[in-house]
């Protein structure tokens, strides 16, 4: 049975989906290619689908992540997460309050929370978060209005909590190693995987760089 609580190694290469770059392959196939190439965690993010279409896509995705025993969470939508049997949900600072989300999903489900400050990080952990997503660590086209988080703040957050931390926002092959020594447990990426012509090649490279970044204390 798939474990429902995350460990630090689950965070190594965290893929956040985006249908913007769908080509000839379906999102389900893209995600499976990414998992087989090194992705360790999947978040399904859909902002513009109605409930039924979102749920259908979530069920399809879960069939893939279950097959490879990869943790699978839904972005923001608790109702879809519960309906599809996802392993959990990920929420931002402007979504539902963390304690309320924990009460809705129960103690066995994964709860991820986006944070940008040490104060937010500590509060999220105290309120029931299982892991944190910190960003944007670099400027990103996915969320052009997102404020960036400095390397020093990233280090403070990692040192100030006991739960796993993943960095997100503008991360790609050329800047992964700039995060060495920050204390993060992995990287979360969107376009660095799903916008690439060769998803397999891109994922393999990112997984190698993520390993080097996590296990290098100074760079």
Phi, psi of 30 (to 5 degrees): -60, -45
Q: Is residue 45 flagged as an active site residue?
A: yes
Q: Is residue 67 flagged as an active site residue?
A: no
Among candidate residues 62, 102, 114, 191, the one labeled active-site is: 114
> Which SS3 state, helix, strand or coil, does residue 28 take?
helix
- Measured CA distances, 102 to 78, 88, 135 (Å): 10, 10, 22
Taking the C-alpha atoms of residue 37 and residue 127, their distance in angstroms, rounded to an integer, is: 34
Among candidate residues 8, 36, 45, 155, the one labeled active-site is: 45
Taking the C-alpha atoms of residue 124 and residue 129, their distance in angstroms, rounded to an integer, is: 5
Taking the C-alpha atoms of residue 174 and residue 20, their distance in angstroms, rounded to an integer, is: 22
Residue 53 tokens read as 């279409």
Residue 194 tokens read as 């799903």
Find the length of the chain.
219
Closest CA to 95 of 129, 60, 144: 129
Among candidate residues 28, 36, 59, 143, the one labeled active-site is: 143
Rg (CA), the chain: 16
Q: Is residue 143 flagged as an active site residue?
A: yes
Residues designated as active site: 45, 114, 143
């Amino acid at each position: 049975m798939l474990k429902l609580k995350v460990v630090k190694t689950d965070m190594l290469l965290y893929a956040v989906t985006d249908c913007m770059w769908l080509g000839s392959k379906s999102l389900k196939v893209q995600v499976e290619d990414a998992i087989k190439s090194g992705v360790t965690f999947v978040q399904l993010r859909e902002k513009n689908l109605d409930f039924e279409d979102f749920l259908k896509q979530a069920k399809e995705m879960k069939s893939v992540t279950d097959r490879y025993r990869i943790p699978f969470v839904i972005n923001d939508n608790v109702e879809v997460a519960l309906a599809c049997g996802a392993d959990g949900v990920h929420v931002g600072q402007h979504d539902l309050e963390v304690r309320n989300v924990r009460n809705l999903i129960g103690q066995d489900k994964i709860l991820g929370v986006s944070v940008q400050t040490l104060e937010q990080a500590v509060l999220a952990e105290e309120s029931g978060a299982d892991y944190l997503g910190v960003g944007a660590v670099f400027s990103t086209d996915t969320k052009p209005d997102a404020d960036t988080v400095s390397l020093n703040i990233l280090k403070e957050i990692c040192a100030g909590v006991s739960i796993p931390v993943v960095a997100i926002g503008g991360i790609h092959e050329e800047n992964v190693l700039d995060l060495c020594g920050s204390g993060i447990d992995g990287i979360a990426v969107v376009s660095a995987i799903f916008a690439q012509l060769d998803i397999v090649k891109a994922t393999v490279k990112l997984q190698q760089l993520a390993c080097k970044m996590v296990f290098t204390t100074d760079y």
